Amino acid sequence: MNWDQVEGKWKQMKGSMKQQWGKLTDDDLDYIAGSRDKFIGRVQERYGLNKEEAQKQADEWLKNHPEMEPATRRSGGSL
C-alpha cells in the first residue's frame, strides 16, 4: 500500500489509525486529512518521536493493512 491509497480512503482509515495512535485526537485526524507529512508531524508531536521513528511506525502500519492492497498483490500476484 502507499500513502496515496490512504488519502483516498481516509475516512475508512481514521479509526484504525486512532486505534494504533490513541494520543491522536479527532481534531488531529481531521487536520491530517490523509496527508503523510501532517501525519508524521502529529505523531512526532504527540509521542515525542523523531521524524525517522514516526516514519518507521507509519510504514509498519501501512504494511499491516492488507485491505488497502490491490487484490492481485494480496493474492500473491498470480493469476
* DSSP, residue by residue, 2-40: -HHHHHHTHHHHHHHHHHH-TTS-HHHHHHHTT-HHHHH
CATH number reported for the structural domain that contains residue 32 in this entry: 1.10.1470.10
Distances (CA, A) of 8 to 13, 58, 61: 9, 16, 16
- Into how many domains does the chain fold? 1
pTM of the model: 0.75
pLDDT above 90 for 76:
no
For 12-69, write each residue's pLDDT tens digit.
Answer: 888 888 999 999 999 999 999 989 999 999 999 999 999 999 999 999 988 887 665 5
Q: Predicted confidence band at 78 (pLDDT cuts at 50, 70, 90)? A: very low
Maximum Cα–Cα distance across the chain: 45
pLDDT confidence of residue 73: 43
- Is 49 contained in some domain? yes
- Is 76 contained in some domain? no
Q: Predicted confidence band at 3 (pLDDT cuts at 50, 70, 90)? A: confident
